Structure 1
Amino acid sequence: MERNFSLSMITVSLTHCLLLCLVVAAASNNITTDQQALLALKDHITYDPTNLFAHNWTSNTSVCTWIGITCDVNSHRVTALDISQFNIQGTIPPQLGNLSSLTTLNLSRNKLSGSIPPSIYTMHTLKFLDFTDNLLSGSVSSSVFNMSSILDIRLTNNRLSEGNKLTGPIPITFGRLQKLQGLDLAFNKLVGSFPDELCHLARLDQLALFGNKLSGSIPSCLSNLTSLRSLYLGSNRFTSVIPSTFWSLKDILFFDFSSNFLVGTLSFDIVNLKVPLGISLSENNLSGDMPATVGGLKNLQIMDLAYNRLEGQIPESFGDLTSLEVMNLSNNKISGSIPKSMEKLFYLRDLNLSFNELEGEIPSGGIFANFTAESFMGNELLCGLPNLQVQPCKILLIVIVLPLSIALTIAITLPLKSKLIGCGKRSTVLSNDSVLSSQATLRRFSYLELLQATYNFAENNVIGIGGFGSVYRARLEDGMKIAKKVFHQQCASALKSFEAECEVLKNIRHRNLIKLSKQSLQSISPRIHVQRELGGLAAF
């Protein structure tokens, strides 16, 4: 019995030894396979500016110590190959497909040429593939669906170099990669339509097809991509409207449809996009008014709607875009005035409203003090400060030279008397037996002279504010002190208020005020400045 037991123990020991030998042999063979695959890549490198691979990738050292290589700590198999940004030239050998434990393959930002070997698409363990910014050519294989574990595919170009030249249509087999989270095929020469099969990628977080030759419609099935955060379809040849279903992607952060041939209008449903940070729809054929609901996009930082056919006015609600940093509405047909509500967009650093049909006064408060003429050029009816290279605004000025001690009194009295006259009530008329002498003369001032006298209508020179204008104190170059009432013509009621105050002035009798006749009132236009040098209102 003891003999049988001993034989059994010997058998078990031999079995364990045999298994251990097989494992060691298998591991050794796998390391050899991985090493052979990497040495094949080394042999396909035709230019190595640093000679790094010649000195480091050698057969007499462990593959796990090579630069750019990561191995599993247990199996010692190669799990990651990252030799990006080495500026190497050459081709990709088919032997790379033998790295059967590889999860990360990054050859980006080199100058590798030729086609992608079919063996790459058989790497079932691969999760991350990046061939960005090379000189690769050929088409994307339909065998891509075999990469069952893939999460992120990046075959994009970088415009700093000549870039990849992948051609042909986008394989519909991409739709089978149910784990795929990122797909970047930008800046190639892909043609054809947007495959509906891509809408099956429920986990897709980023889709970049920018800079190809894709055509046809943007599919309505995009609404199925509920995990999508970034969508880049710009610089293609899409010709459709933006599908109404797109606006249901409430969690999208960035979308770029620029430089296509899209038509139609911007939907009021854009407000359904709860958290967008960047929107680019420039260089299309979009038309119609800009929806006021855009103002509900509180997190929006970049909005580019340039080079379209948008019409109507800039909505007042744009002043609610409090996170906005960049706004480009240039080269459209936008009319009306620039909303003063936009003065509170404190983070806005880049504003371009050029080449539209805007009119009226350019706001001067808030962030508008930081903008230059380039932001407003090509709008012939805009007016504002001289540094913006637009015409001066048409304003109504009643300039009455007064001692500054009583200027505020006049600023308050005239509106009160206007109100009494407007209501049909009898007002008490200031009287004085001494009227303006025949020696009194009118003095005219240029707009620039008045602008300089008030330091560009500085707020610290305001001595009174009414419903339709303000009273400023000023000192002319000859030392004369004046007070002037400024009516802003952009206010619809300002002209009526001006006429009412002129009516009051017509009825006032004082030696230091000019009597305005009926003919004088009829001759006053928004461009006329009525001025008079006065000594004071004694015994007012």
Structure 2
Amino acid sequence: MERACYYFPVGLLLATSLLAVGTADIINDKSALVAFKNHIVSDPHLIVAKNWSISSSVCDWIGVTCDSSRQRVMALNISNMGFAGTIPPQLGNLSFLVSLDMSNNNFHGHLPEGMSHLRQLSFMALSNNNLTGEIPSWLGVLDRLQYLSLRKNNFFGDLPANICDNLPNLKELDLSVNEMSGQILSGLSNCSGLKSLDLSFNQFNGYIPKVVGNLKMLEELHLGDNNLKGPIPNEIGNLLKLEILDLGWNSLSGSIPVWIFNMSTLRMLDLFGNHLSGVLPSNMCHGLHNLEDIHLGRNNFSGAIPASISNCSKLTGIFLGGNKFSGPIPNSIGNLRRLEFLSLIANNLTSESSSPELGLFTSLTGCISLRYISVGDNPLNGVLPRSIGNLSISVELLDVGNSGLRGNIPDSIGNLSNLIFLGLGDNSWTGSVPTAIWGLQKLRYLDLSNISLTGPLSRGLCGLQSLEDLGLSQNQISGSIPGCFNNLTSLRYLDIAFNRLTSTLPMSLWDLKGLQEVNLSSNLLRGPLAPEMGELKNLTRLDLSNNQFSGKIPSTIWSLESLDRLSLANNSLQGSIPNNF
């Protein structure tokens, strides 16, 4: 009993001391958050105004999560709240903070050095704000950090040389969509646990450091949209867990290293928009068992597209446009049941079929998920088969422009009821445009330019109420523009230049208030210009040159503030053009 009495005051004193310390700690947390609150200058959803009350516990504030036992702030998630303001140094006093998410707001200014005291932090997301300055070197002391995203801000300058010196736990580093420059430093290899590295959409220059091959845990490498040059380093072949390799839109040169075609884990290969050259190996898909997307467009690749590309059975996207590929397009592509996107535009590709009908389109009927077919600007030199109407109902884009096509436009195209984009221009079609096309109610883009169309414009065009862009130039279209054109309420771009249109312009044309560009040049149009054309407030380009218009130039044209290009040359119009126009 005597022993118990002796210890009781000591125990009480210890408990009282712990309570005092705990109270002081939560007061420190509250003080830090109040300072943060005072730096928020815009609160559009009144979250701070209505909920962050000083009279209540910070653990009850929206976005704040506390540890249940110690009542310390462990997480602050204020993402997508529309806040604007700056980050005060006091935020670093949240000494128990494990997770900080301030993404998708409008915070600006620099990252305060006080944040270097957040030594428990494992998750930091500050993406999609307006933060600026150089990436602070003190980030390298946050040794528990596993996720760091500063994506889509205004950070500039070089990467700190020591950023990875003490970040052994970092798994994801995202510094994309900033204004960073200089070389990608070899010190990044010290972040040996990285699974995802994203430095894309910056201004980094120089060579890709070979030591990136030391990041053996890497699954995603995004270095696209920079100013990188030189060859793709062979050391990347050491990344045996790599699933995404994004090096697109740089100035890389040389050929694709052969080891890339043996990376069995690779799901996406993006080398789009470089200066790469060479040929694709005949067995290119021997090791790429998991490849889903291949982006090799806008390079200098040549040679054939291997028929073995169909062995990449998981492919959903093939983007090889803008190269120097030649030879036949392999019909085996039609075996890719998961294929959604096929872009082979602007090469020197031909048809694999020995008959005039293009067998490619028959083979593509096996691609049940196909949405995008772009094979224009190739010398296909054949006839579209009726089987094109058996393509997947999901096809939204079909571009066969400037492909040496002849014969009739198959009316079965009308079966593709989800078409949004249809490019048939610059070919040698015979006959008329099938009326089935006028039933494509979702069509937004239609190019029928330079296909030797004759006769009047079909009133069936007026049924395409989703149409935004209509190209009919360089034909032999005669007659007048149908008055029902005012049904095309979504039309933005209209080009009927270099035809044989006669008569006057229908007044209904000026009802299309959304028009941005109109080219009716080089026709036989006549009559006066209506003052109502001045109501097209969105108009940026208007070309009525080389016609037979007469009368005074309507003064209402000069009120079109968005107009930056106007041509009325070679008509019989009268009037002067204001000096300030």
Q: Which residue in 1 is equivalent to 2:321?
A: 330
Partner of 1:21: 16
CA distance in 1, matches of 2:60, 2:308: 60
CA contact (8 A) 1:335 1:359 kept: yes
- Quote how far apart the aligned CAs of 1:338 are: 0.7
Higher relative contact order (CA 8 A, sep 6+): 1
Report if aligned partners of 1:315, 1:339 keep a CA contact under 8 Å in 2: yes
Match of 1:314 in 2: 305
- The equivalent of 2:208 in structure 1 is 218
Q: What are the ranges of 5 or more consecutive residues in structure 1 without an aligned counterpart?
A: 158-163, 395-446, 450-540
Alpha-carbon distance in structure 2 between the residues aligned to 1:448 and 1:193: 57
Q: Does 1:168 align with 2:157?
A: yes
In 1, Cα distance between the equivalents of 2:144 and 2:278? 46
Cα distance in 2 for residues equivalent to 1:373 and 1:261 = 27
Aligned match of 1:340 in 325, 331, 336?
A: 331
In 2, distance between residues paired with 1:274 and 1:323?
Answer: 12
- Report SS of the residue matched to 2:156: strand
Per-residue CA deviations over 1:46-94 (Å, capped at 9, x if unaligned) read 0101111112111221111111011111111000000000011111111
| Cα separation, partners in 2 of 1:78 and 1:341, compared to 1, 3 Å | same
Deviations 1:446-471 (A, max 9, x none): x999xxxxxxxxxxxxxxxxxxxxxx
**Residues 114-169 of structure 1, C-alpha deviation per residue, up to 9 Å, x if partnerless?**
11111112211000001000000111111112101111110001xxxxxx110111
Match of 2:194 among 185, 200, 204: 204
What is the letter of the counterpart of residue 328 of structure 2? S
CA contact (8 A) 1:248 1:272 kept: no
Please give the secondary structure, in 1, of the residue aligned with 2:148: strand
Distance, in Å, in 2 between the alignment partners of 1:123 and 1:155 is 16
Find the counterpart in structure 1 of residue 285 from structure 2. 295
Q: Residue type matched to 2:266 in 1?
A: P
Match of residue 227 from structure 1: 217
Structure-1 separation of matches of 2:126 and 2:188: 21
Gaps of 5+ in 2: 389-399, 408-428, 432-581
1:151 to 138, 146, 155: 146
1:380 and 2:375 matched: no
Give, in whole Å, the separation in 1 of the partners of 2:362 and 2:42. Answer: 59
SS in 2 for 1:379: coil
1:79 and 2:74 equivalent? yes
**Compared with structure 1, are the counterparts of its residues 173 and 358 closer, same or farther at alpha carbon in structure 2 (3 Å cutoff)?**
same
Contact 1:268 1:293 in 2 (8 A): no
Q: State the Cα distance separating 1:252 from its structure 2 match.
A: 0.8
2:227 to 224, 234, 237: 237
After superposing on structure 2, the runs of 4+ consecutive aligned residues of structure 1 that deviate more than 6 Å are 369-373
- Show the counterpart of 2:182: 192
Instruction: Determine if contact 1:267/1:291 at 8 Å carries over to the other structure.
Output: no
**Are the structure 2 counterparts of residues 265 and 254 from structure 1 closer, same or farther at C-alpha, using a change threshold of 3 Å?**
same
The reply to whether residue 57 of structure 1 matches residue 52 of structure 2 is yes
Q: What is the identity, as a one-letter code, of the residue corresponding to 1:94?
A: P
Identical columns (%): 32
Instruction: Tell whether the 8 Å contact from 2:343 to 2:372 is kept in structure 1 after alignment.
Output: no
- How many pairs are equivalent? 387
Deviation (angstroms), 1:368:
5.1
Aligned mates of 1:334, 1:347 — CA distance in 2: 23
Higher CA-based Rg: 1
Counterpart CA distance in 1 for 2:373 and 2:143 is 52
Residue 141 (structure 1) aligns with: 136
Q: For residue 364 of structure 1, report the CA deviation from its aligned partner.
A: 2.9
Equivalent residues of 2:102, 2:127 under 8 A apart: yes
In the other structure, the counterpart of 1:118 is 113
Matched with 2:361 is: 364
Aligned letter for 1:366? S
Question: RMSD of the TM alignment (CA)?
Answer: 2.2
Which amino acid in structure 2 is aligned with residue 29 of structure 1?
Answer: A
Query: How far 1:392 sits from its partner (Å)?
Result: 5.5
Secondary structure, counterpart of 1:286 in structure 2: strand
The question of whether the paired residues in 2 share the 8 Å contact of 1:103 and 1:125 is answered with yes
How far apart are 1:9 and its partner, in Å?
3.6
Tell me how far 1:317 sits from its aligned partner.
1.1
Q: Deviations over 1:297-351 (max 9, x none)?
A: 1211111100000000001210211111111100000001111221201111110
Indicate conservation of the 8 Å contact 2:266/2:290, yes or no.
yes
- 1:447-466 aligned within 5 A: none
Q: Which residue of 2 aligns with 1:490?
A: none
Kindly state the Cα deviation for residue 248 of structure 1 after the two structures are TM-superposed. 2.6
Task: Choose the corresponding residue for 1:34, options 18, 29, 36.
Answer: 29
Distance 1:96 1:235 in 2: 34
Q: TM-score, normalised by structure 2?
A: 0.64
SS of 1:175's partner is coil
Give the CA deviation at 1:95: 0.6
Provide the secondary structure at the position in 1 that maps to 2:155: strand
- Aligned mates of 2:371, 2:291 — CA distance in 1: 23
Q: Distance in 2 between matches of 1:131 and 1:57?
A: 21
Structure-2 residue corresponding to 1:12: 7
C-alpha separation in 2, matches of 1:372 and 1:113: 41
1:534 is matched with none
1:257 has 2:247 as partner: yes
- Partner of residue 520, structure 2: none
Residue 293 to residue 369, structure 1, CA distance change in 2 (3 Å): closer
- SS of the equivalent of 1:291 reads coil
Structure 1: distance between partners of 2:383 and 2:265:
35
**C-alpha displacement of 1:391:** 3.8
